[in-house]
Structure 1
Amino acid sequence: MSATTFASICAPGPLGHVVTLRGTDVEVEAHAPTRQEAESDASLALTRERRRLEAELRRGVHRTLSTRHPVSRTEVPHVA
């Protein structure tokens, strides 16, 4: 997985603590009774989301490379 820069925002919330992690292309938020639990949960969620996005990009590239275009039955291949 590639390195990414991120920002962390911690604040008190209705369930104890809220931690928001913002990466270059993703943002996750975790709520937990303690700040440490919220940070741990947010870190795990950020990692999972980044992996999901990277897998989605890989699948997209694979689909692009394997796309076939149907040949019209009215078109006759030109033989030189």
Structure 2
Amino acid sequence: MGYPSGNIRVAVKSLLQQINQLAKELHMPVNLRACGVSKEQFTIVKQHISEAALNDACTKTNPRTPTANEIESIVEKLL
């Protein structure tokens, strides 16, 4: 694809940059704050989001089952 990928970290960083660039070009929000979700609103629903992700059927088929703390850490990055 022509993007830097000397190692896995470089490849992931490059992929994220390209995704963010595409989102900007398409005028798409890149996080919940850009969608107008306030910190207060997020705090109210973040536990539900984490629980739903942990209980989702797709999560159960992952090669490695994430912990509740790992899911919460990922969810925190949504804002």
Common fold by TM > 0.5:
no
Structure 1 length normalisation: TM-score? 0.29
Where is the helix percentage greater, Structure 1 or Structure 2? 2
Where is the strand percentage greater, Structure 1 or Structure 2? 1
Structure 2 length normalisation: TM-score? 0.30
- Structure of greater relative contact order (alpha carbons < 8 Å, 6+ residues apart): 2
